[in-house]
């Protein structure tokens, strides 16, 4: 099929390349000439494992192209995916629909023949109606249908998630559009991925509800971790104990410094705002948002306590800056709040991340950036593991201890066992586990 994808950011680029890999003819459109030029030169605007190779392969096969001009692409497309950004709007936290509506206007000016307009961007309930109205006003005689097809991609595993999805949600009320969507995803039939067809507004709400629930699980286990630290329990054992219950599940029960990224923070805020506008307050989600914001700030205080109650004049090394591993995404990353809190307390902050340094630099003024983990830790009074990159899971602890000024290790992702860290001479602090404290005597 001939498909167009508007937006070549995270969702748009992954969607476009995976659809092309299914065998469809896909053109990705973006207004940013520099981004399109980079993509045509084989340079990716984001870090996602396997993405650059997949792009190169499908471009070489003639199934994938990148352009800046939308009109001719829409005119030839059987389906047009809107995959532009929907950031939180300043002032009220509602999702900003500016880019979605601009895309709808441009689509309306270019339609020819029956076309399915697919909202892949995460949009508030009812935005599909707005897109339909915009297009109808611009092109009263056009033959089209608007479909909601939310994405459920994890950064760092987006290609796998797209090709082996848990489910495909399609919000549609037009039989022709449903047939087009089923044909688009037909290559996935061998994986037996269920296609859930529902109303458009229901599909839009399903996306927000899914992210809000996952954010709630993260926040719940973080609060349990706080209690574990007070009563001498082990949050990892608690998580296993409840996660083996099929009604609960083990995923997203890993205690840490709070959630971040491009989805959970803005989507929970947008859902809360939607509910308030409809006079149906979501108290649980509101609390999740508040607790998570507080959690990030509290992590700086946790580091300060581990350093004896003061970091003034001390050097703190932060390992990992992105909100999760296998991405370069710094949006709402806990590291931002932690670094600011430490700097406010008088610390000199040094940092390293395997992929996120370029994105982190403008967001972390006053932070020194290192070339690798050991350069980051050299001479430091404390090392803080903020993001659980694989590169940090097997550090040479003896070497790390030898190059640090003071052997203080704060592990906000619980990737080391307390006894292992203490055996190597560290005063070790983790999240929600017993066994933290002074190093064993050498």
Residues that are catalytic = 263
What is the distance, to the nearest Å, from the Cα of residue 206 to the centroid of all Cα atoms in its chain?
17
Nearest to 287 by CA among 299, 303, 301, 271: 271
- CA dist 389 and 394 (Å) reads 10
Locate all alpha helices (DSSP H) within 48-120, ordered by sequence: 51-60, 71-76, 98-108
> Which residue is associated with the tokens 């939607």?
274
Count of beta carbons in the 10 Å neighbourhood of residue 164: 11
Tokens in use for 171?
């919000």
What's the helix, strand, coil split of the chain in %, to 5?
A: 45, 15, 40
- CA dist 310 and 320 (Å) reads 22
Give me the helix-helix angle, 334-344 and 283-306, nearest 10°: 50
The answer to whether 158 and 181 have CB atoms below 8 angstroms apart is no
Strand order in 408-411's β-sheet? 368-369, 348-352, 315-319, 382-385, 408-411, 427-429
Nearest to 268 by CA among 243, 293, 240, 289: 289
What is the distance, to the nearest Å, from the Cα of residue 440 to the centroid of all Cα atoms in its chain?
39
DSSP state for residue 95 in the 8-state scheme = B
What is the distance, to the nearest Å, from the Cα of residue 23 to the centroid of all Cα atoms in its chain?
27
């Amino acid at each position: 099929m001939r498909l167009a994808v508007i937006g070549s950011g995270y969702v748009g680029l992954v969607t476009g390349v995976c659809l092309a890999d299914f065998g469809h003819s896909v053109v990705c459109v973006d207004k940013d000439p520099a981004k399109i030029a980079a993509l045509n030169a084989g340079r990716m605007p984001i870090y996602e494992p396997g993405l650059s190779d997949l792009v190169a392969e499908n471009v070489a096969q003639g199934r994938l192209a990148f352009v800046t001009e939308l009109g001719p692409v829409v005119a030839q497309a059987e389906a047009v995916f809107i995959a532009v950004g929907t950031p939180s709007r300043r002032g009220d936290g509602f999702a900003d629909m500016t880019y979605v509506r601009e895309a709808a206007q441009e689509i309306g000016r270019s339609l020819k023949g029956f076309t399915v307009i697919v909202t892949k961007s995460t949009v508030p309930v009812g935005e599909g109606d707005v897109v339909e109205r915009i297009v109808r006003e611009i092109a009263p005689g056009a033959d089209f249908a608007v479909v909601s097809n939310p994405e459920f991609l994890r950064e760092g595993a987006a290609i796998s998630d797209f090709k082996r999805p848990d489910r495909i949600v399609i919000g549609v009320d037009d039989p022709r559009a449903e047939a087009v969507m089923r044909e688009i995803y037909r290559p996935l039939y061998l994986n037996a991925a269920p296609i859930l067809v529902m109303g458009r507004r229901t599909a839009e709400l399903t996306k927000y509800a899914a992210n809000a629930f996952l954010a709630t699980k993260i926040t719940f286990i973080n609060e349990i971790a706080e209690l574990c630290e007070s009563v001498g329990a082990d949050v990892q054992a608690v998580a296993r104990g409840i996660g083996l219950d099929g009604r609960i599940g083990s995923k997203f029960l890993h205690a840490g410094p709070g959630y971040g990224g491009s989805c959970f923070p803005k989507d929970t805020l947008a859902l809360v705002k939607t509910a308030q506008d409809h006079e149906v307050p979501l108290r649980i989600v509101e609390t999740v948002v508040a607790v998570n914001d507080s959690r990030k700030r509290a992590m700086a205080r946790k580091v300060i306590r581990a350093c004896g109650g003061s970091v003034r004049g001390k050097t703190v090394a932060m390992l990992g800056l992105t909100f999760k591993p296998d991405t370069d995404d710094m949006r709402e990353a806990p590291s931002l709040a932690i670094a600011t809190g430490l700097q406010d307390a008088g610390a000199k902050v040094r940092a390293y991340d395997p992929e996120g340094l370029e994105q982190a630099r403008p967001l972390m003024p006053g932070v020194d950036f290192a070339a690798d983990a050991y350069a980051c830790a050299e001479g430091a009074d404390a090392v803080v593991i903020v993001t659980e990159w694989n590169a940090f899971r097997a550090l040479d602890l003896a070497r790390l201890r030898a190059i640090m000024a003071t052997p203080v290790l704060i592990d906000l992702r619980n990737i080391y066992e307390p006894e292992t860290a203490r055996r190597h001479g560290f005063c070790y602090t983790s999240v929600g586990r017993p066994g933290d404290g002074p190093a064993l005597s050498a």
